[in-house]
């Protein structure tokens, strides 16, 4: 009997979940899709898998992994075929800088959960989200001027692109104007129809329609 198929607990429209789906598909790792939205009646049970009660959560190789960056780095290190990090150390650092701008500088601050803590006013929540999205995208726009080719960093698909596409999709959904950021917008237009992103797109997931 072969190893058990990995199980991914995720939510279709979660950009963090989409990153992991994309890496699994890109690396041809077959997995079981588990749709999960943290709700009060189920979160206590789910916290046994992920103490933060968040998605994504990947069960693989007999282990439970949480946090999208940690999951993706594990996949990159244990399944090195079809690499998503450049060989050159400086280029790797450039990729990781983009990853962190998105993962630490944009996504947590635009989270609905964060916005609700800041204010109960729905319109002010939207303003908060768009402010932090556009602040982060402005930084990315400057950074990409020195790194991008066909992709975020050079001419090969990397983790920078895996993080960028879901982020820009979410940014647009939350009301950000991508046309203010032409390099980001062009990369999004060029990449969103790549097979790895089309297959893992939120609207193509079992509960993402």
* 144 in Cβ contact with 136 (< 8 Å): no
For the stretch 187-206, pLDDT in tens is 999 999 999 999 999 999 98
Closest Cα to residue 170, out of 60, 2, 32, 15?
15
Which ranges of the chain would DSSP assign to H, the alpha helix? 15-26, 40-46, 68-78, 89-105, 107-110, 112-118, 122-144, 159-173, 182-191, 195-199
CATH superfamily of 7-82: Glutaredoxin (3.40.30.10)
Mean pLDDT of 75-87: 97
pLDDT higher for 141 or 110? 141
What average pLDDT score do residues 58-69 get?
A: 98
pLDDT for 161-182, tens place per residue? Answer: 999 999 999 999 999 999 999 9
- pLDDT, one tens digit per residue, over 4-50 is 899 999 999 999 999 999 999 999 999 999 999 876 557 788 888 88
The fold for domain 89-196 equals Glutathione S-transferase Yfyf (Class Pi); Chain A, domain 2 (1.20.1050)
pLDDT tens, 143-157?
999 998 999 999 999
- Domain range summary for the chain, segments of one domain joined by +: 7-82, 89-196
> Taking residues 75-83, what's their average pLDDT?
97
pLDDT confidence of residue 97? 97
Read off the pTM. Answer: 0.94
pLDDT above 70 (res 90): yes
More confident site: 209 or 133? 133
């Amino acid at each position: 009997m072969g190893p058990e198929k990995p199980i991914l607990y995720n939510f279709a429209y979660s950009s963090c979940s989409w990153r992991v789906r994309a890496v699994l598909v890109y690396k041809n790792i077959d997995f079981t899709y588990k749709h999960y939205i943290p709700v009060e009646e189920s979160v206590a049970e789910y916290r046994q898998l992920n103490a933060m009660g968040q998605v994504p959560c990947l069960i693989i190789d007999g282990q439970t992994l949480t946090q999208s960056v940690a999951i993706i780095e594990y996949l990159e290190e244990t399944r090195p075929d079809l690499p998503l990090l450049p060989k050159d150390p400086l280029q790797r650092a450039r990729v990781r800088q983009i990853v962190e701008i998105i993962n630490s500088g944009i996504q947590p601050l635009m989270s609905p959960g964060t916005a609700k803590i800041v204010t109960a006013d729905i319109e002010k929540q939207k303003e908060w989200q768009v402010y932090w999205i556009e602040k982060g995208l402005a930084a990315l726009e400057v950074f990409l001027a020195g790194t991008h080719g066909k992709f975020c960093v050079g001419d090969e698909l990397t983790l920078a692109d895996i993080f960028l596409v879901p982020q820009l999709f979410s940014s647009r959904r939350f009301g950000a104007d991508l046309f203010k950021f032409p390099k980001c917008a062009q990369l999004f237009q060029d990449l969103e129809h790549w097979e790895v992103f089309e297959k893992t797109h939120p609207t193509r997931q079992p509960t993402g329609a």
